Structure 1
Amino acid sequence: GRPPAPRASPRPAGPPAGGPPPSARPRLRPRRLAAVVGLLLLVVLIAWPVGLLLWAGGKLQHTPALSGAADTPGTTYLLAGSDARGDEGGIAEDGTEGQRTDTILLLHVPDSGPTALVSLPRDTYVDVPGHGGSKLNSAFAWGGAPLLVQTVEGLTGLTVDHYAEIGMGGVAHVVDAVGGVNLCYDGAVDDPDSGMVWTPGCHDVDGTQALAFARMRKADPQGDVGRALRQRQLIGAVVAKVSPGALAVRPGAQVALVDAGTGALTFDESTGALDVARLALAFRAANGPEGITGTPPIATMDYRPGGIGSAVLLDEAATPPFFAAVRDGTLPPGPVGGIPAG
């Protein structure tokens, strides 16, 4: 018979059909691994603020407020502090009942020039649409945010683009969310109405103490003007603690701050999370060395037109050009207004 066919020599074992064995697969070198980790970190750093922003936007509370008046140059924010305490509530001297506001702040960012944060004393004598001459905070009692916005627009000549209302009780939560703030006051205070107990100087305070600091009026020789100064100081201290660099590495602090802020604030129907961020930046600019803070020109702190008790009367000649300069950004940085001398 035939000799047996030669047997084929065995082939060397090759890689499996699925690819190289695990030992032969390329490994990430340290540099490449660092690049991948860096890329993932970049994605997280971008995605986290976006997600936080979307979450914050969904938590914002809204209320009708804007008048729909024709735009004026720049961006104007109106902030009202609403306090449901009752020690100053009820029926006012002018006979009005309803919700009151102790804090009314106008924040204006001009197209060019310094940002201005102007405190409008709550007892400012103004023309309230549909009601005639009365105190500014009566507009809030009679018609809530919409009437307050209309009244402020008539007083200042500036159209309000965004409205924010803060429940003063929520201030404590915001202060605690940023880890407390440092506040300064030169007087010794033991005021049972506000709860403010203070020794002269600067102190680190928590939310409860900060709220008392912002509420105190009767023990302040400057009354509402002095309270407005302390409220602006508190806002500046909170905004200074909300630095992007400090919060970037503290996601928990970011969440706590957003949660406290959205719980304390109510905005007009058109305001979104980006507008809130711009508002915070505007506060920071106004309280910085290139900003403007203060009051409109005041003629007297004890104007008595009859029927409404003592009111704050603005300087009739100086007030219109003052607000025109705020609008146009032509005022120099620094403090403005205050209690008139003498």
Structure 2
Amino acid sequence: MAKHVRKVQRVPRWAILMSGVGAVVMLAVIATLGYTAFVRTAIDDALQEESLLPDIADSDADGITGPLNLLLVGADLRVDKHNAALADTIIILHINKNLDTATLISLPRDLLVDIPDCGPGPGGDPCQDKINAAYSFVGPEVSDSMSNLATTITNLTGVTFNGAAVVNFEGFMSTVEMFGGIELCLTEDLYTEHGSGFYPQGCNEYNPQDALSIVRERKNWPDGDYGRQRMQQHFIKQLLKRAEEEGYLSNPMKVTTLIEKMTGQIVYDLGPFDPVDFAVALRHVKPSKMDMVKLPSHPENINNVSYVVITPGTDEETRSEALFKAIRDDTLTEWIAGNPDYINTDPKTQTE
């Protein structure tokens, strides 16, 4: 299918609140507010739509129907600083056929995969590398980076996407600042390379800088990047909870201020979907009920480089393939029931 081109539309709720870690479903803000014109205008002015996906999964001409799969990426968009776009968070958000249940499946940034386009240079095209390299090999345009990453994930999983969003880390800080902080729960003491450097076990309120430091840390978790993925998923649920508590889902002035804070921080692609209809369609999704899934895989050192791998011919591969099939077939509830070891328990429940 040819790369789609369309005029700018408004962003849906899940793109508004998905911040620096990548991303997420927002409750039906636009629907709750009665489609107020000034909210629509704020969205149009603040957030950027581009063609991020090489193909958009088929949609029902009569309206939005489930299941849906969305690709959410948290990235540092400061390509002038790094000379390459960087993606540290990659999440598949699956919404079931009834549009009332959401599941977050994190893909490790170091996952060893086949990449179809490895850009110019000696690496060749295609190549095998870490999955986040699919984002940085091409560019610097975010549309090219996301397209290459989406194709890489589809080749790996067979999953096609109904939408995508990429959010700058600065967007994460702006959102937490707007909420006056966020509660994060740690199941153990955590040392980080940035921020305050040490965060104690338990649930505490954090400012944007410290919250970002916690969510981005990966080296000092006992299980490495898996710990960071778990904290990213926890952050998404806590962010949505705070939005409800602070009235950002019921006060149109607050929603407009929040959207304006995200100006320049979100790029999104909804394909043929109407954003307002999309928001209404997902109104029954409850963040507190989200399941958080870890990909069956393990870290491995290959030629002095740290990767995450799915070993062929093992139970790990069998479970991974079954997970990908469950996403495609909308049978994640059954997969989750049969694979409790790969379900990330929310740290909030573990520390209470």
Q: Which moved more, 1:47-56 or 1:253-262?
A: 47-56
| 1:309 aligned residue | 305
Unpaired runs of at least 5, structure 1: 1-44, 91-96
Q: CA shift at 1:137, angstroms? A: 0.4
Residue 337 (structure 1) aligns with? 342
Question: Is the 2:247–2:254 contact (alpha carbons within 8 Å) kept by the matching residues of 1?
Answer: no
Amino acid in structure 2 at the alignment position of 1:302: E
1:109 equivalent to 2:114? Answer no
- 1:288 matched to 2:274? The reply is no
CA contact (8 A) 1:225 1:338 kept: no
The equivalent of 2:46 in structure 1 is 59
How far is 1:74 from its partner?
1.9
Which portions of structure 1, spanning 4 or more consecutive aligned residues, are displaced by more than 6 angstroms? none
Which residue number corresponds to residue 257 of structure 1? Answer: 258
Determine whether 1:141 maps to 2:136: yes
- Cα deviation for residue 117 of structure 1 reads 0.7
What whole-Å deviation, never above 9, does each CA across 1:38-59 have from its counterpart, x for those lacking one?
xxxxxxx966734313431342
Deviation at 1:110, TM superposition (A): 2.4
Q: Measure how far apart 1:65 and its partner are.
A: 1.3
Between the aligned partners of 1:149 and 1:317, the Cα distance in structure 2 is: 23
Per-residue CA distance 1:139-190 (angstroms, 9 max, x = gap): 0011211100101111121111111111112211111212322110022234
Query: Tell me, what secondary structure is at the counterpart of 1:317?
Result: helix
Does the 8 Å contact 2:184/2:238 carry over to 1?
yes
Equivalent residues, number: 281
Which residue is 1:78 aligned to? Answer: 71
Q: 1:172 to 1:69 in 2, by over 3 A?
A: closer
User: What residue is the counterpart of 1:154 in the other structure?
Assistant: 155
Q: Percent identity?
A: 26
How does the TM-score come out when normalised to structure 1?
0.71
Q: Deviations over 1:94-144 (max 9, x none)?
A: xxx722211001101121484211000001111111423211001001121
Q: Structure 1: how far apart are the matches of 2:203 and 2:151?
A: 38
- Give the corresponding residue for 2:14: none
Alignment-derived partner of residue 20 in structure 1: none
Q: Which amino acid aligns with 2:149?
A: L
Distance across 2 between alignment mates of 1:154 and 1:220: 30
For the residues of structure 2 that align with 1:156 and 1:100, how far apart are their CA atoms? 22
Give the superposition deviation at 1:201. 0.8
Partner of 1:36: none
Deviates more, 1:174-183 or 1:246-255: 246-255
Larger RCO (CA within 8 A; separation ≥ 6): 2
Equivalences for residues 210-225 of structure 1 within 5 A: 210-225=211-226
Partner of 1:319: helix, strand, or coil?
helix
Distance across 1 between alignment mates of 2:260 and 2:93: 23
User: CA-to-partner distance for each residue in 1:270-321, whole Å, 9 max, x for gaps?
Assistant: 4764377479868x64x433x32122221x21152x4x81211123222222
Distance 1:255 1:274 in 2: 15
Per the alignment, residue 274 of structure 1 pairs with 276
**Cα offset, 1:269, TM superposition:** 6.7
Deviation larger for 250-259 or 169-178: 250-259
Bigger Rg, which one: 1
Change (3 A) 1:219 1:245: closer
Secondary structure of 1:111 counterpart: coil
**AA paired with 1:230?**
M
**What is the aligned partner in structure 1 of residue 120 from structure 2?**
none
Opposite residue 337 of structure 1, the aligned amino acid is Y
**2:326 paired with 1:321:** no
State the distance in 2 between where 1:105 and 1:182 align: 21
Q: Secondary structure at the match of 2:137?
A: helix
Residue 115 of structure 2 is matched in structure 1 by: 128
2 CA distance for matches of 1:191 and 1:136?
Answer: 24
